[in-house]
């Protein structure tokens, strides 16, 4: 490869990226933006606790199930075609969710919305691989990483703002309707700007590994469903699904090897993990990192809203320093990948671990301080580090992936991140609830006369929630340190490869 842009680069590539990232932002945002609207939805539709949980978990489940299949369909059938189909479906299902008259209709719409978002998201990484080369690819992935980081963190803020603007009774509907004008505009622009797919050498049927899709989908379902349902006792009642998932994963790998031996295109080529430098390590880093950091948003929401009595909007604003730091550093880090490579990831993970550890410490050491302000600097530090993780790791993980496998590789990478998110959320929420339950504290708010900025120590409810937050933060730090150890190992392996090979598209200096 060469580190400069090829002469045949699409002159509209940056416009294409802007459009596709806008659509991708909506799909990722809908994972978290609905959380703050759940009380309003429950009142408006008279929904049950189980049904309201599925408004969130159903989206996350179907989103994670189809990421790899969506990436493969984009590789095989053309990313333009899959992007337009998936975005159209996402807009229509957003309309259906916003207009849902009953709990069942809303849950169905959310399942379908997650399905379309899962098909849409991997087209972004595939298009970046197709349209960009060398340093430009790093900058493009930097913007993609900023999109992922910001969408993960700002969902509660935007959701709270929409509810505040449109009212408790109908504001929840606009959480879904807001996707419609943005998605429609993106659809028109995408139809004009996205490049057509090259001619196919095989029939559609010959390109699609249906058996592989079914086996992998069922395996991912076996992992995600118990984790997503953990708040409703899923780990206690559905634990057996992990064993089934392991068997299905083994059957999937055996089937894919058989497909490769027969010379047919597999869903997920095993050589992606065995013969693609940097991909296995990078995918592991992404999955473990998301396990460590993605669950903190639920913990913060519980702490600020139940423990301190914050409104959903105030709770979201309290964690915006992380989002702002992540957005800025992801865009900058994308430009620095050619120069610093994997060292960015290692440094970023160290900053995330440090920032979250400081959050856990200061809430205990300074209980009388206004906690929202006290945690802002360490959250900003953690956010800057997080932006240095997501976009460089995506770039470095996918840099050696052949273009024909770009979509499925991106889908597999994001599937690991979804599984990590579900696992981390279940673990951190369980730890938080366990500390609160052990103290016998109620669901809050426990601000007493001191208010949100009042005394937080001692045996009172605020002190209990403070302790729960600190324990959850240190658990998160432990998981992030595992990702840091993997990243350090990948850095050493990368340097060893560079001593024996040349022609890497992105160098990682010693």
Burial of 273 (0-12, 13-18, 19+ CB in 10 A): middle
d(CA 34, CA 87): 19
d(CA 73, CA 118): 12
Task: Kindly report the CATH number assigned to the domain that includes residue 293.
Answer: 1.20.1250.20
Residues 288 and 252 in one domain: no
Burial of 198 (0-12, 13-18, 19+ CB in 10 A): exposed
d(CA 297, CA 338): 32
For residue 83, tell me if it sits in a domain.
Answer: yes
Instruction: Find the distance separating the first CA and the last CA of the chain, reported in whole Å.
Output: 21
d(CA 387, CA 333): 7
Q: What is the pLDDT of residues 279-332, one digit of tens each?
A: 899 999 998 998 888 888 888 888 887 888 887 778 778 888 988 888 888 888
Q: Assess whether the previous peptide bond of 445 is cis (omega < 30° from 0).
A: yes
For residue 216, tell me if it sits in a domain.
Answer: yes
d(CA 107, CA 115): 12
Tokens encoding 171: 């504001």
Residues 140 and 238 in one domain: no
SS3 of 47, please?
A: coil
d(CA 225, CA 81): 30
- Name, in order, each residue with C-beta under 8 angstroms of 244's C-beta and a sequence gap of 6 or more: 218, 222
Boundary-marking domain end, from 225, 244, 263: 263
- Name, in order, each residue with C-beta under 8 angstroms of 58's C-beta and a sequence gap of 6 or more: 107, 110, 111, 114
Residues 426 and 399 in one domain: yes
Residues recorded for the chain: 510
For residue 3, tell me if it sits in a domain.
Answer: no
- Name, in order, each residue with C-beta under 8 angstroms of 442's C-beta and a sequence gap of 6 or more: 461
User: Which of the residues in the chain have pLDDT under 50?
Assistant: 1-7, 444-460, 503-510
Q: Which of 472, 422, 429 is nearest to 227 (CA)?
A: 422
d(CA 38, CA 177): 16
d(CA 141, CA 147): 9
For residue 387, tell me if it sits in a domain.
Answer: yes
Residues 269 and 299 in one domain: yes
The domain total for the chain is 2
Q: How many CB atoms lie within 10 A of CB 496?
A: 10
What Rg value do the Cα atoms of the chain yield, rounded? Answer: 22
Residues 170 and 223 in one domain: no
For residue 6, tell me if it sits in a domain.
Answer: no
* Structural domain boundaries enclosing 449: 13-195+204-209+265-500
Boundary-marking domain end, from 263, 281, 298: 263
Tokens encoding 345: 């990831």
Residues 252 and 154 in one domain: no
Residues 356 and 377 in one domain: yes
Torsion angle, alpha carbons of 96, 102, 107, 113, to 10 = 0
Tokens encoding 7: 């002469």
Element (H, E) at 468: helix 461-500
SS3 of 101, please?
A: coil
Residues 124 and 241 in one domain: no
Residue owning tokens 């975005």: 87
Q: What pLDDT, on a 0 to 100 scale, did the predictor assign at position 441? A: 55
Chain centroid to CA 480: how far?
15
Residues 99 and 115 in one domain: yes
Instruction: Let me know the angle formed at the C-alpha of 378 by 392 and 509, rounded to the nearest 5 degrees.
Output: 30
Q: What pLDDT, on a 0 to 100 scale, did the predictor assign at position 449? A: 31
Residue owning tokens 């991909």: 279
- Name, in order, each residue with C-beta under 8 angstroms of 465's C-beta and a sequence gap of 6 or more: 302, 303, 306, 307, 308, 436, 441, 444, 446
Residues 240 and 343 in one domain: no
Produce one character per residue of 283-322: b if its CB has 16 or more CB atoms within 10 Å, e if not.
bbbbbbbbbbbbbbbbbbbbbbbbbbbbebbbbbbbbbbb
Contact 103/46 with Cβ under 8 angstroms? yes
Tokens encoding 354: 């440090």
Quote the pTM value: 0.79
For residue 5, tell me if it sits in a domain.
Answer: no
SS3 of 206, please?
A: helix
Residues 391 and 448 in one domain: yes
Q: What values do phi and psi take at 444, rounded to 5?
A: 85, -175
Chain centroid to CA 207: how far?
28
For residue 453, tell me if it sits in a domain.
Answer: yes
Q: Which of 152, 159, 142, 125 is nearest to 33 (CA)?
A: 159
Residues 131 and 177 in one domain: yes
For residue 449, tell me if it sits in a domain.
Answer: yes
Instruction: Let me know the angle formed at the C-alpha of 156 by 155 and 159, rounded to the nearest 5 degrees.
Output: 80
Boundary-marking domain end, from 240, 263, 286: 263
């Amino acid at each position: 490869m060469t580190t400069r842009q090829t002469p045949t680069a699409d002159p509209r590539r940056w416009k294409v990226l802007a459009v596709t990232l806008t659509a991708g932002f909506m799909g990722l945002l809908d994972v978290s933006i609905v959380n703050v609207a759940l009380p309003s939805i429950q009142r408006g539709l008279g929904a049950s606790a189980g049904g309201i949980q599925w408004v969130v978990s159903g989206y996350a489940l179907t989103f994670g199930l189809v990421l790899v299949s969506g990436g493969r369909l984009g590789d095989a059938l053309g990313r333009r075609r899959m992007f337009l189909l998936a975005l159209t479906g996402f807009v229509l299902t957003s309309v259906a969710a916003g207009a849902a008259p009953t709990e069942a209709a809303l849950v169905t719409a959310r399942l379908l919305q997650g399905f379309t978002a899962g098909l849409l998201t991997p087209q972004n990484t595939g298009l970046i691989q197709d349209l960009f080369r060398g340093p430009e690819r790093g900058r493009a992935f930097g913007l993609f990483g900023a999109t992922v980081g910001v969408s993960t963190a700002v969902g509660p803020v935007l959701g709270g703002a929409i509810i505040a603007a449109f009212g408790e009774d109908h504001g929840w509907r606009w959480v879904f309707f807001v996707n419609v004008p943005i998605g429609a505009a993106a659809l028109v622009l995408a139809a004009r700007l996205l490049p057509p797919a090259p001619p196919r050498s095989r029939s559609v049927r010959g390109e699609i590994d249906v058996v592989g899709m079914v086996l992998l989908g069922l395996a991912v379902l076996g992992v995600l469903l118990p984790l997503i349902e953990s708040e409703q006792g899923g780990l206690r009642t559905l634990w057996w699904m992990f064993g089934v998932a392991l068997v299905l994963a083994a059957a999937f790998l055996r089937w894919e090897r058989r497909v490769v031996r027969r010379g047919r295109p597999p869903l997920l080529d095993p050589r992606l993990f065995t013969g693609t430098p940097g991909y296995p390590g990078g995918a592991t880093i992404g999955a473990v990192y998301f396990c460590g950091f993605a669950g903190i948003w639920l913990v913060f929401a519980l702490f600020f809203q139940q423990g301190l009595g914050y409104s959903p909007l105030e709770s979201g604003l309290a964690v915006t320093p992380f989002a702002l730091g992540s957005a800025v550093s992801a865009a900058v880090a994308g430009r620095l990948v050619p120069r610093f490579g994997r060292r960015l990831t290692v440094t970023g993970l160290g900053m995330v671990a440090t920032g979250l550890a400081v959050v856990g410490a200061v809430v205990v050491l300074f209980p009388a301080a206004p906690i929202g302000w006290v945690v802002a600097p360490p959250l900003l530090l953690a956010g800057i580090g997080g932006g240095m993780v997501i976009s460089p790791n995506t770039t470095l993980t996918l840099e050696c992936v052949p273009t024909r496998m770009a979509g499925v590789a991106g889908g597999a990478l994001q599937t690991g991140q979804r599984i990590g998110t579900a696992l981390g959320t279940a673990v951190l929420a369980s730890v938080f609830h366990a500390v609160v339950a052990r103290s016998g504290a109620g669901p809050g708010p426990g601000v007493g006369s001191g208010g949100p900025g009042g005394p937080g120590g001692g045996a009172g409810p605020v002190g209990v929630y403070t302790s729960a937050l600190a324990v959850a933060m240190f658990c998160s730090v432990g998981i992030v340190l595992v990702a840091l150890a993997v990243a350090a190992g990948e850095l050493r392996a990368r340097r060893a490869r560079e001593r024996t090979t040349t022609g890497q598209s992105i160098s990682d200096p010693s």
